[in-house]
Structure 1
Amino acid sequence: MRNKDDQPRFATPDNLKQGSAAASETRICGGQPQTARCGGNTEDRESLGTGAPPSNTAPANYITDTTTQDKPGFQLLRCGVDSLYLSYRGELASGWDQRLEGLKRAAQSTEEGERSNAQVRIGEHLFEVRDKGKGRFAYVLVDNCFHIQLSTGNTSSLPLAYVQVSSEMLTALSVTEAEERLRYIINTLGQVKGEAQISRADLFADFLSTVAMDSWAQASWITRAAKIWIHYEKRQFTGWSIGLGGVMGCRLYNKTLELEKSKKDCLKPLWSAMGWQEGQSVWRLEFEFKRDALKELGVSSVDQLLASLQGLWAYATVSWLRLTIPNPDDENQSRWPNHPLWDSLVAVPWADGVSLPLSRLRKERLPSDESLFVNGLGGLTSFMAAHGMTDLGEGFGEFLAHANRFHSNRERTTGKTFIGYVSDKVKAKARKYNTLKNESSDTRREDEERKREQARNYKKVKDGD
């Protein structure tokens, strides 16, 4: 039997795409939205009969200047699709099956030089081929844009491909553009049958607020989910999570703290364009919709997702979850008013906005500057300290000389000179970072032929064959 997290009694697909009296009122009334009258305890509701009207042309990520930004203590910075998991039915081409099996074996080699060749270039993407499959999928291809799991050519029970589109990809491009690039890659690998099916989609809103996000008790959340967590790290409040592990989940968390850990600052220029200043905490409200939830809500394809963004957000913030101001004198939670912060979040619009993409989409998984220029200098500074050196030029020269002598002494057992050792390490990290294609002249000739074949395949897809 499913628990409450697994069965939130979804709206019907038709109701999801109908207009919303509640959402309409937030626009008609102005000022503070009056959505509190539309519902309280969502356990008592059977459908989203009053869901917000979906946008038929909403882009995946956009910046907007909406009236919600005029409300005291709240400023919307961005909203969009943050995580997207897609599956493709079809069959892996036999040639690719054999090639990927060979690259997978190379990735399992004990020889670093052979492992570094476990790469494959498809179009503009240089993928690392992992040494293991994942779950029932035989092959895994990874770069900074896509994490692709592929089944073998003789497996009919699995999709051809199961793919996670990276959040950075969805920050730089619309969902439609990202899927078009991905479809070209999957079409190169095999014969795709039908359109991509969505296995999971996460919708988010980034915002500034003067409200303390830990200023309410757990009882203020009215939700169909059974599990609610509050999170602290080193005694600092970091956020809430609700219903995770079920077919729907929610996170309300400090996004700026997360960026400090991940060192991925690609969002900061987009926030700055909307008035964010360094030092301000950006909070993110994020809803996770898994396959079962999307299916019951009538969303399975990319087109259906984009047509239902407003409706999905309305379902999540009106029917599935509410942040309220509890009334101890009223046991009927449906009459508890929304917290003013929640009214602002309910009113987040998903209509067309002005897209501010990243200046460049990185396909490479590069190390941070801190990793390179702080941690990476550890060996050099340790060497200089051990030898009583303070001059950087002298230290660097002596370091190289000692390293060359050390590897020359090891050459009898390793078979590698200092230059050979460095070359192997560079190739291994180039595979990990998706930066250099490690290949022999024979491999280059084979790749040129594959590029010509890919171009022919692309032309067939473009022409509708």
Structure 2
Amino acid sequence: MNHDLHALFHRVFAWSHRNFSRIDLALDDFGSTIVNFEQIHEASINGWFTSRWSKWDELNSRQTSTNEFLGQTIYFGSQKSDLYCRIYNKTLERKAKSNLDDAETSIPEAWTRLELVYRKDRALKLAEYIVNDDLPIGHALRGTLKQYLRFLIKSNDSNKARWPTAPWWDELLAEAEQLQLTIEKEAKTIEDMRDWVDRQISPTLSAILKAHGGDLAWLRSTIAEGSKRLSQKHKDAITQFLQKEGTPA
């Protein structure tokens, strides 16, 4: 299956018009021998972890009549962000969706699933690693986890960064290299700014000018005021544009 996914990534990457808007990678531990929801939940509640993600959430659902769990999920990172991790009790999810007793017997009793969701630039960056570096899918998932999350063994040290890594987490990420997914944004050029004005605010400017009977005094005043608030990125863009045009800055 990993080979088939690699081939698929290569085929899609070869297309001239391609877009990786979202990629989901999943890891299933059918016996919860390493990735164990209860163990991860305990570590999360007690703060026995460090993470580049600034938040984590817990989502539970229960049966009204019995108060039994129907679902248990932990999220690391915002679900609105371009990269987050979801860990949940897959056994509960499958049982909640199944209404047939004979179907339930085939569901593992201790099944934990870990998923990573990559969107937009992070999805594209992941695809580039997989295709250009011939990175196996499993290595990509584990490399991302190694970069963003570390479960720990509590110690008396006040600095969590010095706490030892939990052995089960070390086992999961054995020999994985951290996967750098941050993308340095290119500096905005004058052309970019002009295009943005054309796309986003030209109708607004037109409406204001029409309301003022075409009088440009308001616009001139606004531009003059804006010139006092130019940031360094604006000044750099101006300098770059003038140099390209052959005009002294």
Structure 2 SS opposite 1:209:
coil
1:183-211 deviations in Å (ceiling 9; x for gaps): 9xxxxxxxx96153322212111012255
Map of 1:325 onto structure 2:
153
Give a deviation string over 1:411-459, Cα, whole Å, max 9, x none. xxxxxxxxxxxxxxxxxxxxxxxxxxxxxxxxxxxxxxxxxxxxxxxxx
Corresponding residue for residue 91 of structure 2: 256
Question: Over the residues paired in the alignment, what is the CA RMSD in angstroms?
Answer: 4.0
Q: Distance in 1 between matches of 2:99 and 2:25?
A: 19
Counterpart residue identity of residue 344, structure 1: E
Give the 3-state SS of the residue equivalent to 1:343 in structure 2: helix
Instruction: Give the secondary structure class of the aligned counterpart of 2:131.
Output: helix
**TM-score of the pair, normalised by structure 1:** 0.29
Note the C-alpha offset of 1:330. 1.0
Q: Distance in 2 between matches of 1:320 and 1:304?
A: 22
Task: Provide TM-score, normalisation by structure 2.
Answer: 0.51
Contact 2:91 2:107 in 1 (8 A): no
Other-structure match for 1:437: none
Within the alignment, does 1:241 sit opposite 2:75 as a pair? yes
Per-residue CA deviation, residues 125-176 of structure 1 (Å, 9 max, x unaligned), is xxxxxxxxxxxxxxxxxxxxxxxxxxxxxxxxxxxxxxxxxxxxxxxxx463
Answer yes or no: is the 8 Å Cα contact 2:126–2:140 preserved in 1: no
- How many residues align? The count is 160
Deviations 1:377-435 (A, max 9, x none): xxxxxxxxxxxxxxxxxxxxxxxxxxxxxxxxxxxxxxxxxxxxxxxxxxxxxxxxxxx
- Tell me how far 1:308 sits from its aligned partner: 5.2
Corresponding residue number in structure 2 for 1:59: 3
Q: Is the 8 A contact 2:58 2:74 kept in 1?
A: yes
Q: How does 1:219-298 map to 2 (within 5 A)?
A: 219-234=47-62, 236=69, 238-243=72-77, 244-263=79-98, 278-295=107-124, 297=125
**Aligned twin of 2:32:** 209
* Aligned-residue offset at 1:257: 2.0
Quickly say closer, same or farther: Cα 1:320–1:288, change in 2 above 3 A: same
Distance 1:179 1:298 in 2: 12
Partner of 2:127: 299
Q: Highest relative contact order (Cα 8 Å, sep 6+), 1 or 2?
A: 1
Gaps of 5+ in 2: 177-249
Provide the rounded CA distance (Å) in 2 between the counterparts of 1:294 and 1:279: 31
> Secondary structure of the residue that 1:197 maps to in structure 2?
coil
Partner of residue 316, structure 1: 144
Question: Do the aligned partners of 1:202 and 1:288 also contact (CA within 8 Å) in 2?
Answer: yes
Shift of 1:311: 4.5
- Between structures 1 and 2, the one with greater helix share: 2
CA distance in 2, matches of 1:278, 1:193: 39
Find the residue that maps to 1:215 and give its secondary structure: helix
Distance 1:218 1:197 in 2: 40
Change (3 A) 1:336 1:58: same
Q: Distance in 2 between matches of 1:178 and 1:293?
A: 15
| Mapped pair 1:338 → 2:172 | no
2:3 maps to amino acid? P
Shift of 1:263: 4.8
What is the aligned-residue identity percentage? 22
Post-superposition Cα deviations, 1:321-361, rounded to whole Å, max 9, x if no partner, equal 1122232x212222212223322322398xxxxxxxxxxxx
